[in-house]
Chains A and B, each alone.
Chain A
Amino acid sequence: MNESAAAPRYSIVIPVGRRVDDFVELVSEYVEALDSAAVDHEIVVVLDGQKKELFEALRRVAVADARLRVIELSKEFGESAALAAGFDAARGAMLLTLPAYYQVEPQEIVKMIAAPAPDDDMLIAVRWPRAGSPFDKLRRKAFHGLFKFMSSMKYRDLGCGVRLFKRAVAEEIPVYGDQHRFLPALAARRGFRVREVEVRQSPKDRFRGHYRLREYLHRFLDVLTVFFLVRFTKKPLRFFGTIGFLAAGFGAIVTAVLVVQRLFFDIALADRPALLLGTLLVVLGVQTFALGLIGELIIFTHASGMKEYTIRRVIQSERAPNA
């Protein structure tokens, strides 16, 4: 695997996780498509966890094609980590992530590469028209609807791994856990211009097997995480404080009513379950509030390491003395 001296313009990053189709074949189809449009590229394949056979097969390909590099992670770290490793190794100015299984027609990536307008920082593919059972459609609708409700950002296909973006996007937005899915949303929040591009879905794009309940729960929690990260990272107390105040306030009112009834209307306090409810709500509310305060302390003590803004450029006259 020779390192060619000049960095290519495009780095194709392919994370290989559990779901993988006939990979060597798929890669050769990708390469064929890229070469047909004479795209100056390199391919970085990141194997998430040790995959001996695949590694050997890819090594044979890499001998013939120096543009292919393979990174193998020592254990399964997840797709976000695999992507991050791929971004670190990539040398191109533009990064294109592709899935390790058939999602889109390989020829369509040429269309992606040709699509960016000068203003675009990130293009994400939308498989369209989309095949799938009515249940699949419903599930997709529910997921994207929930995401839109939480973040007020509208995306049609966050599950599609085909994304083209400038290097700056990867450098500025840390992805961990399962956040790669929401990279477009996180990028848009950071001021990058994100646009959707419709591409043809591969006829082989079939997820065999079915999602288990745990997957649904994970997706739901992911959306919550992103919601929190996007809206309240810098102001935890606004989130926890509002919830805590509502709970504690309600609890305080309940308790106060009971105490007033006891004092002035002689209704016994001790045998009323509502007393416990009121107390529990106060306790819960104050605890939530306290968590928000701890969050504020964390933000404050780390604020100097975070930059909340990105400067596109500084404009100044050429005659400026200290330019």
Chain B
Amino acid sequence: MKSLDLSVVVPLYNEEESVRLLHERISEALRRTDLRYEILFVDDGSRDGTLEIAAAIAEQDPRLRVVEFRANYGQTPAMAAGIDLARGTVIATMDGDLQNDPGDIPAMLREIDDDTDMVVGWRQNRQDRLLTRKVPSWIANKLIGKVTGVPIRDNGCSLKLYRASVIKRVPLYSEMHRFIPAMASITGARVKEVPVSHHARQFGASKYGLSRTWKVLLDLLSIKTIIGFAQRPLLWFGLLAMPFIVASLISLGAAIAPLFTPDGTLILPFAGTGVLYGALALFLLMGGAVGELVYATGNVDLTEYSRLSAVSRMERDDE
């Protein structure tokens, strides 16, 4: 089996108007290069004609594979499936709504070299509403960059390219697709940003809204727990316990203080809060210990990642 240079993975959900055009644009952009490529459309249980149209195109184009899901599982599983099946040494992912321009792919592909495992798009002059989309996304990007330590200016852009050997190792589940660069950074992958063009939505309705903010915030905390303190959960929980240890000490101090004055008595409510905060701190530390257990018995071996990145470096030196 010849290996391919590039796999383009596109999750599709109810995009019947876009599919044909999308396929044309991708093919057009890649045909001009001499890349050996394949396209993977992952139909995420669409309820319109997306699958039929995609299947019809696949009959004509041997370079297109269409993956049919049994139900609607979400964007991350769709990407994960595409990435699992992809055969290219580089995998590109993009949205199926034509907001990304496949014409950017060849330029991005050139950026994947010795020092870069991952290239993410950075949408220039975004065609979205200012107040409901751009401002929240600006704040979100700042926050995500700060928390994850991977300062990307545009996490929402789904046009991204990855070295296959890296991305195939990154656990993708739930709604992780927003945080793939951050997740990949655990493996030691290095990221570069490239400006890409952005088009307004032509067909269909946007599938996102402001309501997801709370979910994203919680996800962000999960990510912080996972990547920031990978293999050191006790440290992370210890950090969380710190303010409560302080609160406990202050409370206990306030409770005991009157004892040092003549005819003073212990202030019971303060003693109560002090004990409670102390108990909470202890609970958190024990939680951290359970976290250590989880890592010890789980099947993610993070040292494997460091070995992996060392190997991929050597391979690249060989080329």
Q: Which residues of A contact B (CB under 8 A)?
A: 190-192, 234-235, 237-238, 241-242, 269-273, 275-276, 279-280, 282-283, 286-287, 290-291, 293-294, 296-306, 308-317, 319-322
Task: Select A242's contact among B59, B175, B218, B233, beta carbons within 8 Å.
Answer: B218
**A268 to B: closest C-beta gap in Å:** 10
Q: How far is the CA of A29 from the CA of B78 in the complex (A)?
A: 47
A237 vs chain B, min Cβ distance (A): 5
> Could you say which residues of chain A place their CB within 8 Å of the CB of B280?
282-283, 286-287
CB distance B295 to A297 under 8 Å?
yes
Across the interface, do A317 and B295 meet the contact criterion of CB distance under 8 Å? no
> Could you say which residues of chain B place their CB within 8 Å of the CB of A192?
70-71
Q: Across the interface, which residues of A come within 8 angstroms of B60, CB to CB?
A: 317
Q: Kindly state the separation between the CA atoms of A238 and B240 in the bound complex, as whole angstroms.
A: 18
Residues of B within 8 A of A270 (CB): 267, 269-270
CA distance A191 to B2 in the complex (A): 35
Please measure, in the bound complex, the distance between the C-alpha atom of A280 and the C-alpha atom of B69, giving whole angstroms.
47
Q: Complex Cα distance A322/B244, Å? A: 60
Q: Which residues of B contact A302 (CB under 8 A)?
A: 298-300
B156 contacts chain A at the CB level, 8 A cutoff: no
Known: A283-B276, A294-B290. A301 touches B77 (CB 8 A): no
Are A291 and B287 interface neighbours, CB within 8 A? yes
Q: List 22 A-B contacts (CB under 8 A).
A: A191-B45, A234-B173, A235-B219, A237-B218, A271-B269, A287-B280, A287-B283, A290-B287, A301-B295, A301-B298, A302-B298, A302-B300, A305-B299, A306-B173, A308-B73, A308-B74, A311-B67, A314-B65, A317-B59, A317-B62, A320-B63, A322-B87
Minimum Cβ distance to chain B for residue A28 (Å)? 38
Does A319 lie within 8 Å of B62, measured CB to CB? yes
Query: Is A275 touching B68 in the complex (CB atoms < 8 A)?
Result: no
Among listed B22-30, B116-124, B126-134, B220-228, interface-contacting one: B220-228
- Say yes or no: B70 contacts A190, CB within 8 Å: yes
Give 15 new A-B contacts, CB below 8 A, not counting A298-B298, A306-B173.
A191-B71, A237-B219, A238-B218, A272-B269, A286-B284, A293-B221, A296-B226, A297-B233, A297-B294, A302-B299, A310-B70, A311-B68, A316-B65, A317-B58, A317-B60
Contacting residues, chain A, for B272 (C-beta < 8 A)? 276, 279
Decide: A304 near B171, CB < 8 A? Known: A276-B269, A279-B277, A316-B58: yes
Q: Does B215 contact A (CB under 8 A)?
A: yes
Identify which of residues 140-163 in chain B touch chain A, using a CB-to-CB cut-off of 8 Å: none
Query: Which positions 32-86 of chain B face chain A at CB distance < 8 Å?
Result: 45, 54-55, 58-74, 76-78, 80-81, 85
Closest chain A CB from B225 CB (angstroms): 5
Q: Is B237 an interface residue (CB 8 A)?
A: yes
Contacts A287-B283, A319-B62; is A312 near B221 (CB within 8 Å)? Answer: no
Please judge, given known A-B contacts A234-B174, A241-B221, A290-B240, whether A315 and B276 are in contact too, CB under 8 Å: no
Q: With A237-B221, A279-B277, A290-B237 in contact, is A191–B175 under 8 Å at CB?
A: no
Evaluate contact between B69 and A311: CB separation under 8 angstroms: yes
Residues of B within 8 A of A242 (CB): 214, 218
Chain A residues contacting B58 (CB-CB under 8 Å) are 315-317
Supposing A290-B237, A314-B65, A314-B67 touch, asked if A299 and B290 sit within 8 A by C-beta, the answer is no
Question: Is B135 on the interface with A (CB-CB < 8 A)?
Answer: no
Across-interface contacts of B219 in A (CB, < 8 A): 235, 237-238
Interface size on B, residues (CB 8 A): 66
When distances are taken between beta carbons in the complex, the residues of chain A under 8 Å from B299 are: 301-302, 304-305
CB distance from B177 to the nearest CB of A (A): 12
List, in ascending order, chain B residues with CB within 8 A of A269's CB. Answer: 269
Cβ of A286 and Cβ of B73 under 8 Å apart? no
Could you mark each residue 162-177 of chain B with 1 if its beta carbon is under 8 Å from any beta carbon of chain A, else 0?
0000000001111100
| Contact yes or no, B291 A297, CB < 8 A | yes
Given the complex of chains A and B, what is the CA–CA distance between A275 and B255 in angstroms?
13
Please, what's the 1-or-0 string for B209-239, where 1 marks a CB less than 8 Å from any CB in chain A? 0000011001101100110000001000100
Residues of chain B with a CB closer than 8 A to A297's CB? 225-226, 233, 291, 294-295, 298
Contacts of A308 in B (CB 8 A): 73-74, 76-77, 80, 173-174
B205 at the interface (CB under 8 A from A): no
Q: Total A-B residue pairs with C-beta atoms closer than 8 Å?
A: 169
Partner of A293, one of B64, B172, B287: B287
Residues in chain B within 8 A of chain A (CB atoms):
1-2, 45, 54-55, 58-74, 76-78, 80-81, 85, 87, 171-175, 214-215, 218-219, 221-222, 225-226, 233, 237, 240, 244, 267, 269-270, 272-273, 276-277, 279-280, 283-284, 287, 290-291, 294-295, 297-300
Contact residues in A for B276 (Cβ distance below 8 Å): 276, 279-280, 283
B residues less than 8 Å from A294 (CB atoms): 287, 290-291, 294
Main secondary structure of the interface of B (DSSP, over half): helix
Q: Are B173 and A303 in contact, CB atoms less than 8 angstroms apart?
A: yes
Q: Are B65 and A309 in contact (CB under 8 A)?
A: no
What is the chain B residue whose CB lies nearest that of A306? B173
Shortest distance between the CB of A310 and any CB in chain B (Å):
5
Q: Which residues of A lie under 8 Å from residue B171 when comparing CB positions?
A: 300, 303-304
Is the pair B81, A309 in contact by a Cβ cutoff of 8 Å?
A: yes
Given A276-B272, A302-B298, A305-B299, also A311-B54 (CB < 8 A): no
Contact partners of B298 in chain A: CB under 8 A: 297-298, 300-302
B263 to chain A, nearest CB (A): 16
Shortest beta-carbon distance from B261 to chain A in Å: 14
A296 to B173, CA, bound (A): 11
Q: Which residue of A lies closest to B286 (CB)?
A: A290
Give chain B nearest CB distance to A254 CB in angstroms: 12
9 nearest A-B residue pairs (beta carbon): A301-B298, A191-B71, A191-B70, A303-B171, A234-B174, A309-B77, A315-B66, A308-B77, A320-B62
Which residue on chain A has the smallest CB distance to residue B287? A290
